[in-house]
Amino acid sequence: MELSATTDLNFQPSFYDNGDSQLALLPIHYATQPDVYNLSITAGEQQFNYLITVNDREFEVQHLTVDEDTTANTVGSDAANREWDEKIEPLKLVSDPQQYWDGQFLQPVQGKITTEFGMIRYTNGSTVASRHSGIDIAAAAGTPVLAAGSGRVLFADFIQLTGNTVIIEHGFGVKSWYYHMQSLDVAEGDMVKQGDPIGKVGSTGFSTGPHLHFCMSVNNVFTNPWTAFEQGIG
């Protein structure tokens, strides 16, 4: 039976065959306003309506100082932002029709968490804030970075904004993102297993020191990595 879903959460889920059942993922963006939202699922000629409550959450504020040359060559560079838009943005909507991951995801490197998911960040005294799409894990340069889950390497290359970067598609649009690495150990198209080394911690791109910026997303919505570590996805 064909299933479809609509919501007023600015994200329209797709259903995927998952064994004898079908699975749809509905991520909640960190900027979603607290409210009650509608979800309608259509199965053949039947329609089922549900209400989804999004609760309020406070995010911490961070004031960051970054070298002016680094800023000018990354977030302040039109060329760097165009490169991101051309090479990375189209990848967000890639959804392999099979599930590669199984269960909980793995924290890809151990270390101090210096910036949490969703933090409101002001850089170099700016009055305009940005939001942090993942978590920053401080670790020594050269520390191996491991694949958080099994999947297909969607991107593995250097770009100005995020330095040496890897994106892994885990199926159904679930992705993990790894930024600022010193070097890469995988190439686009490689199939990796959870725990495989994919690169080494570094400080390339928009970075203040050796660390891994790690994100999880469902298509174009970044989600809290701690949910993937502690509960899994789906």
Q: Does residue 224 surpass a pLDDT of 90?
A: yes
Q: What band does 173 get if pLDDT is binned at 50, 70 and 90?
A: very high
Average pLDDT of the segment spanning 127-138: 95
234: confidence class by pLDDT, cuts 50, 70, 90 = confident
Best CA proximity match to 225, nearest among 137, 142, 112? 137
Q: What is the pLDDT of residue 20?
A: 87
Percent of residues, the chain, with pLDDT higher than 70: 100
Mean pLDDT confidence for 113-134: 94
Top-tier CATH class for 61-230: mainly beta
Give the phi and the psi of residue 6 in degrees, each rounded to 5: -135, 145
Confidence at residue 180, expressed as pLDDT on a 0 to 100 scale: 99
The Cα 65–Cα 75 span in angstroms is: 13
Domain boundaries of the chain, sorted by first residue: 3-54, 61-230
Output the pTM of the full model.
0.94
Give me the helices (H) in the chain, please. 68-73, 78-87, 225-230
Amino acid 218: pLDDT: 95
pLDDT higher than threshold 80 for residue 1: no
DSSP tag of 208:
S
